Amino acid sequence: MGAISRRRFLQGAMTAMATISVSNLLEAQSTTPLKIARIDLYPVRYPTVMRFKFFEGPTSGTGRAAVLIKITADDGTFGWGESVPVPRWSYETLEGAVSTIEGYLKPILLGMNPFDLKGVHDAMNREIANSFSTGAPITKAGIDIALHDLIGRATGRNLAELWGRHLPDELVLSWTLNPKTLDEVEPLMEKGRERGFQNFNIKVAPDPKFDLELCKLVKNFAPDGFLWGDANGGYDLATALDVAPRLADAGMAVFEQPLPSNRLTGFQELRKQGALPIILDEGVISPSDLLEFMKLGCCDGVAMKPARCGGLVSAVEQVEILEHAGLMFLGSGLTDPDVSLAASLILYGAFGLKFPAALNGPQFLGTSVITEPFQPVGGKVRIPKGPGLGIEVDEDKVRQLVEQSKATA
């Protein structure tokens, strides 16, 4: 396909999916004249139970930061969302998310129709402007998820129903490995196997020798499992080109974010090399970002994270673009707790995720604020099917976690 034809194809895909994605919501909006009356924030730190490199450090050792968000309409209908900043993964912080919502987003959103998701996102993006891509997307994702939950509760429909999709009962998960030494690998894998996990995702880079040995150990332990390698932008191009064929020979199935997000020509070279499917993550925030990467031939797919890309409006559009273009769609997260995790489970289930999802909140987090916590069994986790996000938040547990978080701050 030529460059012009490919561009027209991608533009057509985006237009078609945008119409499909919002049709049910717009229909509901026309008969539901609600207004946003309250936005309540609950900054917390979920305690962690295993080491995860992005939560190490002097300020992140106290737990996994999150801002629980409750949005209430003028008729009393409410929805829950969650912003999940990770300073060592992105530039967003717990304190920044709270101040951004309180000082900038909350004043402009009060009084808006909660069903007007396009209007809400347009307003948020005017107030907190874009830079290279969407500004403060992790923070905005919490607002987006809360409004989706509110819309579902108001209409008595699960999010999948709002998208015209059906949900399976469960989603297959992947067990995350980020060992400091090779001696830690087998005990960590045994923990996963004890819980029924058969598929593994590993953190790689910057040491290719270590990464190759890690990959071999995992494949020897689980030869039939899906092995997903994520470099989080930690290689330079020369190293990535050298190690990719060897990682493939060792059994790795996909190569996620091998380079920093702005190394566009490097992604092109890796994709031309063809040793492994090149999967993007950190740099893909908006649908327009994804289309640009696709036009430039930079990727074979994307590891989707609703929390990363500003919420479910953006995530659904991107999944539909990938489906239409025949590219890979993988499901991952930001060690999502509770509310954010529910949104990801529904998205991935509704759109028929074909690969084990790297949703490791249940693996690394030590508490929950929902009445029926997500507990993987046999390497699978249930997908909530009630109205909205299909979960119920225990507000007493939320208040307790807020106080506990203050004590450890």
pLDDT, average across residues 181-192:
96
The token duo for 26 is 């717009």
In three-state secondary structure terms, 132 is coil
In this structure, what is the dihedral angle of CA atoms 192, 194, 199, 201, given to the nearest 10 degrees?
A: 0
**What is the pTM for the complete model shown?**
0.92
Report residue 298 CA to chain centroid gap.
20
3-state helix, strand, coil in the chain (%, to 5): 45, 15, 40
Angstrom distance (rounded) from CA 275 to CA 260: 19
Q: What is the pLDDT of residue 407?
A: 81
199 and 102 share a domain?
no
Residue 12 has pLDDT above 60, yes or no: no
Confidence of residue 58 (pLDDT cuts 50, 70, 90): low
Q: Are residues 92 and 210 in the same domain?
A: no
Tell whether the model's pLDDT for residue 395 goes beyond 60.
yes
The string of pLDDT tens digits covering residues 68-82 is 999 999 999 999 999
CATH code, domain with 227: 3.20.20.120
Listed residues 137, 161, 185: the one ending a domain: 161
Contact 218, 182 (CB under 8 A): no
Note whether 306 and 207 are same-domain residues: yes
Domains in the chain: how many in total?
2
**β strands within 123-243, DSSP E:** 170-172, 175-177, 200-203, 227-230
Q: Which two tokens stand for residue 360?
A: 């490791």
- The larger pLDDT score, comparing residue 31 to residue 359, is at 359
What pLDDT score was predicted for residue 10? Answer: 52
Average pLDDT rounded to a whole number, residues 37-58: 85
Tell me the H-state helices in 54-127: 94-100, 106-109, 117-127
Work out the pLDDT band at 162, boundaries 50, 70, 90.
very high
Q: Give pLDDT, residue 307.
A: 96
Share of the chain above pLDDT 90, in %: 85
pLDDT exceeding 70 applies to what percent of the chain?
A: 90
Task: Please say if the pLDDT value at position 61 is more than 60.
Answer: no
Q: How far apart are the first and last CA of the chain?
A: 55
Do 146 and 191 lie in a common domain? no
pLDDT at residue 3 greater than cutoff 80: no
Per-residue model confidence (pLDDT) at position 87? 86
Same domain membership, residue 80 and residue 196: no
Judgement on whether residues 215 and 306 belong to the same structural domain of the protein: yes
- For residue range 276-305, list pLDDT tens digits in order: 999 999 999 999 999 999 999 999 999 999
Amino acid identity for residue 71 in this structure: I
pLDDT at position 262 over 50: yes
In this prediction, residue 131 has a pLDDT band, given cuts at 50, 70 and 90, of confident
Which CATH number belongs to the domain containing residue 49 in this structure? 3.30.390.10
Interatomic CA distance for residues 160 and 347, integer angstroms = 7
Please tell me the predicted confidence (pLDDT) of residue 4.
42
The pLDDT value recorded for residue 30 is: 47
Q: Are 241 and 273 in contact (CB under 8 A)?
A: yes
8 Å CB contact between 169 and 180: no
| Secondary structure class of 141 (helix, strand, coil) | helix
Range scoring the smallest mean pLDDT among 31-40, 108-117, 274-283, 374-383: 31-40
Nearest Cα neighbor of 354 from 330, 383, 320 is 330
Range of 293's domain? 165-393
- In the block, residue with structure tokens 């949104």: 343
What is the per-residue pLDDT across 298-337, written as a single tens digit (0 to 9) for each? 999 999 999 999 999 999 999 999 999 999 999 999 999 9
CB atoms within 10 A of CB 407: 8
Cα-based distances in Å from 326 to 87, 130, 228, 319, 320: 33, 29, 19, 10, 10
Residue 402 inside a domain? The answer is no
Last residue of a domain, one of 135, 161, 187: 161
Residue 214's pLDDT band, with cuts at 50, 70 and 90, is very high
